[in-house]
Amino acid sequence: MVAEPDARALALAREIVRVGYPEDKRETLFGAAADAMLKQMREVMLAKLNNDPAAKAIIEDSIARFVVLGKGVMTRHIPAFMEGYAHAYAREFTPAELETILAFVRTPAGSHFFLRASSILSDPTFVQANAAYLRELQPLIDDMRESLTKRLLEYYQAHPPRASVGS
């Protein structure tokens, strides 16, 4: 079990979260970060389907429907994420460091930093670096998926699945 953070540190961290991530901007901030990463993943991981537009369209349609549903789930969890940030900040930083961070987030530069931090995910240099990473990762993912599918099929043929309990 994780230790509870110091009460003073937690109060400071909650204030950092309140000021740094204004409640009326949180959904947009989280959504923009998710959109940026998904866009990059789509471009790289679906590139092998460029020669099959119909298959690509099926996958794109499924992803689009999933994103709509997923964002609804994400939105419901934002309050817990914010509380998680506060607890993590309170455990990671000393009260003195949190006071310095809070003073920073209250400045125009600090506010801008917190509100725009996830926008780096869409910066062309980051996008280029991430695309190279994803291109190199894709064959590993494909191999793992094929291996996992084979192993699970073999396992379930020998041990048919039963109804889950408690989930």
Our count of domains for the chain comes to 2
Tell me, what's the pLDDT at 97? 98
DSSP assignment of 47-109 equals GGGTT-HHHHHHHHHHHHHHHHHHHHHHHHHHHHHHHHHHHHHHHHS-HHHHHHHHHHHTSHH
Residues 55 and 29 in one domain: yes
Tell me, what's the pLDDT at 81? 96
Q: Is residue 19 assigned to a domain?
A: yes
Which residues of the chain, if any, have pLDDT below 50?
A: none
Residues 69 and 111 in one domain: yes
Residues 131 and 89 in one domain: no
Q: Is residue 167 assigned to a domain?
A: no
Tell me, what's the pLDDT at 47? 87
Whole-angstrom CA distances from 100 to 55, 67, 97, 143, 155 are 52, 37, 5, 47, 55
Residues 141 and 94 in one domain: no
The residue range of the domain holding 139 is 123-158
Q: Is residue 27 assigned to a domain?
A: yes
Tell me, what's the pLDDT at 2? 84
Tell me, what's the pLDDT at 21? 96
Tell me, what's the pLDDT at 163? 85
Residues 86 and 47 in one domain: yes
Q: Which pTM does this prediction carry?
A: 0.78
Residues 117 and 131 in one domain: no
Tell me, what's the pLDDT at 3? 86
Q: Is residue 24 assigned to a domain?
A: yes
